[in-house]
Amino acid sequence: MILITGAAGFIGFHVASKLLKQGLSVIGIDNMNDYYDVSLKNARLAQLKKNKHFTFYKGNIADPKAIEKLRDKHKNDISFILHLAAQAGVRYSLENPMAYCESNLTGHMQMLELARYQTENTTHFRHFVYASSSSVYGGNKKQPFAADDPVENPVSLYAATKRSGEILTQSYANLYNIPSTGLRFFTVYGPYGRPDMAYFSFTKNILEEKPITVFNNGNMRRDFTWIDDCVDGIISAVNTPPKNGKSPYCLHGAPHRIFNLGNNKPEQLIDFVNIIEQAADKRATIDMLDHMMPGDVIETYADIAPAQKILKYAPKTPIAEGLPKFVEWYKEFYKSQNKL
């Protein structure tokens, strides 16, 4: 059985859905916070709850009592932990930094302690897999970003907390021999996505004939990853724990490794906007600004060779195919909600 934190979140929902369709049992936990529209989280969760093999707990992963209660009830069930819960968003970290400390630091530690408990007290625990972020690369100039590049210069608090999670996991893998894998996601997009992401807000505003804001005169490139490709990589990672610290790509002799999950193809932001316009059949009104947002970076570009080799990761969805699918989902979903 697999425990998924952030199960009502964008990526957690899609991973849980696929695992349930494969006939596996999933335990989900999510605090259902209001960082963005909770109705979207409720819609995801409602779909998951239709499956009898899904068990859900509403709770905060940073709350030790909540995690102890879950652990005591399911310690004989949990063989895998997929830790996806986090306070996301670079810009929001400027407004509410303590939310990032609670979720991304304290919450991560609680999950590591759960993995430690399962490792020391059961014989069936197999793997701790967690979400990191392409944000950890900060202002690195070398392209593409490789998992073994130096990442000690975060340009946002969000990036700093995600890098801290990687370091904390390295220490636990060293100390307690916990098979662990970190996944650095590169701008994952798709149906039921996060409304704070550019592709979501651009689609919303273009369809509603409202202006969109583009920073740095549009001189930005992103390695956009379609959700189905990302989910395939995550599930492969879960099923491929490092056997020991000598497994390929393990870090400093500990059973811990980190992979990039991206599309290995940066796209110009303006091309991205043009595809949404075509799919929406509407022209965008663009407020073009010449500065960058604090904590933002000009380009992301994933080196996915290790993930291709070990996880057989094979992203295949370009934005010319993925974005129209998202726009179609958006129109159907919000029409059904009487919001379009």
Annotated catalytic sites, by residue?
Answer: 158
On whether the CB atoms of residues 108 and 30 are closer than 8 A, the answer is no
Give the contacts of 162 (CB within 8 A, at least 6 positions apart). Answer: 86, 104, 131, 132, 133, 135, 136
Query: What CA–CA distance (Å, rounded) separates 314 from 225?
Result: 11
Task: Provide the β-strand partners of residue 256.
Answer: 180
Q: How many CA atoms lie within 13 A of 210 on its CB side?
A: 7
Residue 81, φ and ψ in degrees, nearest 5: -115, 125
Residue type, 189: Y
Sheet holding 127-133, edge to edge: 54-58, 26-30, 2-5, 80-83, 127-133, 180-185, 256-261
The secondary structure element, H or E, covering residue 278 is helix 269-280
Q: Which of 249, 294, 292 is nearest to 269 (CA)?
A: 292
Map residue 293 onto helix, strand or coil.
coil
Token pair 């998992």 in the structure block, residue: 147
Alpha-carbon distances, residue 267 vs 47, 122, 263, 271, 302 (angstroms) = 32, 46, 10, 7, 12
